[in-house]
Structure 1
């Protein structure tokens, strides 16, 4: 089983992350009269493809699954990972498959050229697994971005998502969208529920990200009951739930 990689911390790392949030921005004007939620899963474990998708589908919703093909068919600290059958079932059901690099690289630790090459490798691998839909959306592994990677990837993907825990409001940065985790035990789940509930008072685009969905989750995962509670808070807020691809398409076309 693979041990989890932990990005560097400290003052310099924090300054670099802050700089990446403010540099190479591409403004996305969000509608002021509607609340939108996108539920996403990173990496992604089979539990997210199975239990996670089932919970979303029971609400009539679809999610965005950021796939790292290097994990496909293997086992990580999140448990068994997705395979060809998961890709086929999710796409057939209307979920979005998106890009998360092949090797789950930290963009701050590799050259931009190598990062882009790994993305190309990821697409080739997913196509070889039978994926036929376009890869429109991207999420930075660990939320680690650089100005150079933001600029380069903005030419390829409609949105780039990070992990800065907040709601996208006003003029959001489509090159590093904020996202609220569905993890962190009961305290983290309560924060996610409050984020959803706030949409009834102050509209915006709330993207959530999760990993494993199982009874004994990792610190980056949640239980099925916790995911359902977040989903119920979303439903109670009156927000519209869309995949990342569909959400940005509606914003761009005004539909």
Structure 2
């Protein structure tokens, strides 16, 4: 039987950035944490800095053999999963080292190569959901389980349909629209699971300086991790919630769809 002392979490993309901060916070709060990383050695190095009961696990979310191996490992070692944090994502495919302006320019709807569009969506939408489906049997085995998916307010249709939104031009067809699709699929999942032991949450970290945006974000990784960590540790959020960073009065905003 699961108790407060033996909650089990998997965080994808946990070897750096926001994923690392989430995994570290969970380990510090008593979770057994499987820190997923495409490169196992990078995960081992990251886990050494986390403390607590953190374990590195090889996980490439775009490779179903890797995903299924991770499922089997966690099932054999722990038997169930209390919390799945979908954090791994990409902002673009193609040439590395480009500025965000160059990336967004190349991903405008009128010119983005379809192969580039598919490359981003394959990771951010289809692979993320495939991982979630693969771990649902282990989540069902926990008395109370949650799925927390790191999304982005950039995917909000409500925000981006407002011509007065100063960041509207950043809503590109690849990354931005992939987050819209991600939101839609996970709301569908929340509805599907609403009478089960599993709750589904979406969270926006804000514009955080990480490798995802070539470290050009306005917030530090510690600042950008606060809301994902709060949601990952929360116990009473409503199913299907979508929240973003704290506003000026310290409360947490619901992000409009």
TM-score where L is the length of structure 1: 0.35
Which has the higher relative contact order, 1 or 2, with Cα contacts under 8 A spaced 6 or more apart? Answer: 1
